[in-house]
Amino acid sequence: MIVLFDCNSYDKLIKLSRNDLQKIKDRVEKIIMPQVVREQLNMMIERPDKIEKLSKINQIIAEFDIAGKIAHIANLDANQTYFDSLPKKMRNGDKEIALIAKEEGAVMITDDESFLEGLKLINQRVCGFEGFLRFLV
């Protein structure tokens, strides 16, 4: 299984046990890490109250990267037709993340209602974080 976690999912990953993280590492073939997600995560640097959280997220990303599970992807050129098929309430950065998931054949992992709703409407593979965990562990 190839997955793409949105920023909110990384927040949830840091709350998992080492055992659950290992199960994800064992069962997921590849984690797509788009540049746009990295940029969203890096915005935490500007917030002193988020530095510890960012550090934990970066540690998990590094562990997956060392295991050869991370695929770093540059941002894609905007695909206006695809963007227009998604709900208007989705931010452009989120639409870009969804496009990368589609192009990479990844299941989008998110609890963002606009992501879930929008991607289900166009029959793109998407899964809520809790559903993803139940499937894997």
pLDDT in tens, 73-92: 876 666 778 777 777 777 77
**Is-contact 107 4, C-beta < 8 A?**
yes
For the chain, what is the mean pLDDT? 88
- State pTM to two decimals: 0.86
**DSSP 8-state secondary structure symbol assigned to residue 45:** G
Locate 123 and state its tokens: 């029959």
Task: List the domain range (segments joined by +) for residue 83.
Answer: 2-136
Summary count for the chain: helices (H), strands (E): 8, 5
Q: How many domains does the chain have?
A: 1
Q: How many residues does the chain have?
A: 137
Q: What gap in Å lies between CA 134 and CA 127, rounded to an integer?
A: 11
CATH number at residue 9: 3.40.50.1010
